[in-house]
């Protein structure tokens, strides 16, 4: 309790420094958060595209409906398969008409083949898995042809891998910068109270006692900085969204809490390291 | 109570600099001793070894049952609660009143809150500053600031007062006042070990004097035949 009171007193005694460290923490987390938001949105955009990965197995003409239905059930049991839709000839025609709008009158008879439209589970949408499932489908005797946009999927995955690698590297860099800045900020706060720490040590305060208020202070700063960063990120997203007319996703609750906790952790670690340095000597 | 046994201290960073060389002495209960000698002679090092801010490179320091060989990090805090330490530069917290500075020493070692005001008032009275309890350090003279530092050092009833050049920043009048205070503290049973440059001050008394030069004891009045000082 005394530790908490001391920590709060520290805010009151040096409001400027406290505000300064909180904003510094907030801005470094804000940069990290903005980056995270971009990464998140690229990922969700890619995911939406990925959901469209589909294998279409065209059924030979004259195959009995029962055979197709049985095969569909069979395919649905493949571990990679999320869902199988049977598209009859008439449905194929209907789809072609809606997809091609103005040319709808070109299609009159049911000349389009029936097909099994196979959607894959997440995690099996990479080129290799798609290819494997496609090969399996091709093996079915009534299947004429299998289409799955091989090149397109390969491109998508390349993009995804690049985005992942660049994102990871940039994210690490941003995080490192945030950690360094927050560490320096907290160190400044500890330095401002170096005399207090040295007196505490002289009169026989234990290390734990000396450390505690600083840790609490650091964590509070981290949490406040984290919340401020979250608000800034949210505002930035709204403003950008308005200008770019781009549908954006914000961090869900879990990620938001994680961000704030990350701030707290930074504050805590920063204080721990800086106080530790002062505890070694009077 | 305090014993230095062939203590040598070298600082690794200052290449080849030996701060203390083979220093041995004892200080008995309630004794008063000056540490004198030129700057860099090792006075402050002896004091730092006493409050275990430094450990000897070789030899042993014993104080109040603790040995520099065996004392654990946690025990150093416990030991310091029984020491009073004052410095030339007072080391007061500028943003707190005199009484808050004294109370600080009690708060940070977990003294029950109810006991603090009484102890603080007593300590301030002892150093003659009861009327300035609510003054900030900058509103006090140098001598008064040093008295606050003494009150802080005394508030936990130490068995020894360790003073590193306590009068170094004070004019002659304030120095006499502080020295008078030290005598009173000693008269009430607290041992005093005081490092000082002020040879006039040392000569004006018959207290024990340990003189250092280049890290060695070159004179100890306790060894001189004329002076009678009881050793434990």
**B chain contacts of residue A282, beta-carbon cutoff 8 Å:** 53
Picking from A58-62, A181-185, B78-82, which range would have the lowest pLDDT averaged per residue? A181-185
> Does the residue B179 lie in any domain?
no
Closest-CA distance of chain A to residue B74, Å: 7
The verdict on a CB contact (< 8 Å) between A204 and B78 is yes
State the nearest Cα–Cα gap between B204 and chain A, in angstroms: 31
| Total tally of structural domains belonging to chain B | 1
Distance of CA A57 to the CA centre of its chain: 33
Whether A17 has its CB under 8 Å from any CB of chain B: the answer is no
Q: How far apart are the first and last CA of chain A?
A: 25
Q: Does A202 touch chain B (CB under 8 A)?
A: yes
Is B3 a member of any domain?
yes
Q: Best residue in B54, B55, B77 to probe A by mutation, most A CBs within 10 Å?
A: B77
Strand-pair partners of A83? A119
Interface predicted TM-score (ipTM) of this complex, two decimals: 0.87
Check B81 against A13: CB less than 8 A apart: no
* DSSP string over B63-112: ETTEETTT--HHHHHHHHTTEEEEETT----TTS-HHHHHHHHHHTTT--
The full set of domain ranges for chain A reads: 2-48+157-279, 54-147
Report the gap between the CA of A202 and the closest CA in chain B (Å).
7
B133 in any annotated domain: no
Q: How many CB atoms lie within 10 A of CB B64?
A: 11
Residue B118 lies in a domain: no
Out of B53, B108, B152, name the one closest to residue A205 (CB).
Answer: B108
A154 sits in which H/E element = helix A150-192
d(CA B86, CA A131): 81
CATH number of residue B8's parent domain: 3.40.50.300
Please indicate whether, in this complex, the C-beta atoms of A205 and B85 are within 8 angstroms of each other. no
Q: Show the tokens assigned to A106.
A: 């070109």
Residue A63's Cβ-side half-sphere holds a number of Cα atoms within 13 Å equal to 24
The least confident of A148-152, B169-173, B178-182 is A148-152
| Reported confidence tier of residue B34, pLDDT bands at 50, 70, 90 | very high
Residue A121 pLDDT more than 70? yes
As a whole number of angstroms, the distance between CA A237 and CA B115 comes to 56
Question: 């502080």: which residue's tokens?
Answer: B178
Q: Is residue A275 helix, strand or coil?
A: helix
Question: Model pTM?
Answer: 0.71
Read off the pLDDT of residues A2-17 as tens digits, 9 standing for 90 and up: 778 877 887 787 788 7
Q: What is chain B's mean pLDDT, rounded?
A: 92
Q: State whether residue B34 is helix, strand or coil.
A: strand
Q: What is the dotted CATH code of the domain comprising A54-147?
A: 3.30.70.3040
Residue A151, pLDDT > 80, answer no
∠ CA B194-B197-B202 to the nearest 5 degrees? 65
**DSSP alpha helix (H) spans, chain B:** 43-50, 73-80, 98-107, 116-126, 142-154, 172-187, 199-203
Nearest by CB: A204 against B80, B91, B95: B80
Q: Does B77 touch chain A (CB under 8 A)?
A: yes
Q: Give the structural domain span for B21.
A: 1-82+197-232
What's the gap in Å between the CA of B203 and the closest CA on chain A? 30
User: Mean pLDDT, to the nearest integer, of B211-229?
Assistant: 81
DSSP 3-state of B192: strand
**Surface-to-core class of residue A214, CB atoms within 10 Å of its CB (0-12 exposed, 13-18 middle, 19+ buried):** buried
Average pLDDT over every residue of A33-54: 80
Full DSSP string of A17-61: HHHHHHHHHHHHHHHHHHHHHHHHHHHHHHHHHHTT-EEEEEEPT
Contact A199 B104 (CB under 8 A): yes
Q: What is the pLDDT of residue A282?
A: 41
Predicted pLDDT of residue B227: 47
Please give the average per-residue pLDDT across A80-87, as a whole number.
83
Contact B73/A at CB under 8 A: yes
Using DSSP's 3-state secondary structure scheme, residue B232 falls into coil
């Amino acid at each position: 309790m005394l530790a908490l009171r001391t920590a709060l007193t520290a805010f009151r005694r040096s409001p400027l420094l406290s505000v300064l460290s909180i904003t510094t923490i907030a801005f470094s987390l804000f940069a990290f958060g903005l980056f995270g938001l971009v990464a998140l949105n690229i990922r969700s955009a890619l995911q939406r595209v990925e959901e469209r990965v589909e294998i279409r197995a065209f059924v030979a003409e004259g195959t009995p409906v029962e055979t197709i239905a049985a095969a569909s059930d069979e395919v649905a049991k493949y571990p990679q398969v999320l869902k199988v839709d049977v598209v009859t000839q008439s449905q194929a025609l209907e789809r072609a008409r809606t997809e091609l709008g103005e040319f709808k009158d070109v299609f009159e008879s049911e000349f389009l083949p029936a097909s099994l439209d196979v959607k894959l589970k997440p995690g099996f949408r990479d080129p290799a898995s798609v290819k494997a499932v496609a090969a399996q489908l091709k093996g079915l005797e009534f299947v004429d042809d299998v289409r799955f946009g091989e090149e397109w999927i390969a491109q998508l995955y390349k993009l995804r891998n690049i985005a992942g690698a660049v994102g990871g590297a940039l994210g690490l860099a941003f995080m490192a910068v945030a950690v360094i800045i927050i560490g320096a900020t907290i160190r400044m706060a500890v330095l401002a109270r170096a005399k207090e720490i040295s007196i505490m040590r002289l009169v026989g305060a234990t290390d734990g006692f000396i450390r505690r208020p600083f840790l609490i202070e650091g964590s509070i700063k981290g949490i406040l900085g984290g919340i401020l960063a979250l608000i800034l990120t949210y505002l930035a997203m709204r403003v950008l969204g308005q200008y770019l007319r781009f549908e954006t996703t914000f961090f869900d609750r879990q990620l938001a809490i994680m961000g704030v906790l990350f701030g707290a952790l930074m504050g805590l670690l920063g204080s721990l390291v800086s106080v530790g340095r002062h505890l070694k000597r009077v | 109570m305090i014993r230095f046994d062939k203590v040598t201290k070298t600082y690794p960073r200052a290449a080849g600099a030996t701060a203390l060389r083979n220093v041995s002495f004892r200080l008995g209960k309630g004794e008063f001793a000056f540490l004198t000698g030129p700057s860099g002679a090792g006075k402050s090092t002896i004091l730092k070894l006493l409050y275990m801010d430094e450990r000897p490179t070789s030899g042993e320091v014993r104080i109040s049952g603790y040995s520099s060989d065996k004392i654990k990090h946690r025990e150093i805090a416990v030991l310091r609660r029984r020491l009073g330490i004052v410095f030339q530069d007072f080391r007061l917290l500028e943003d707190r009143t005199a009484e808050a500075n004294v109370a600080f020493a009690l708060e940070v070692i977990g003294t029950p809150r109810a006991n603090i005001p009484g102890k603080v008032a007593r300590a301030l009275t002892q150093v003659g500053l009861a009327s300035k309890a609510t003054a900030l350090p900058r509103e006090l003279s140098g001598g008064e600031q040093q008295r606050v530092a003494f009150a802080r050092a005394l508030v936990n009833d130490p068995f020894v007062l360790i003073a590193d050049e306590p009068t170094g920043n004070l004019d002659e009048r304030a120095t006499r006042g502080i020295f008078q205070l030290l005598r009173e503290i000693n008269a009430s049973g607290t041992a005093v070990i005081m490092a000082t440059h002020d040879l006039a001050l040392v000569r004006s008394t018959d207290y024990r004097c340990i003189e250092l030069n280049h890290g060695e004891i070159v004179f100890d009045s306790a060894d001189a035949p004329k002076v009678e000082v009881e050793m434990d």
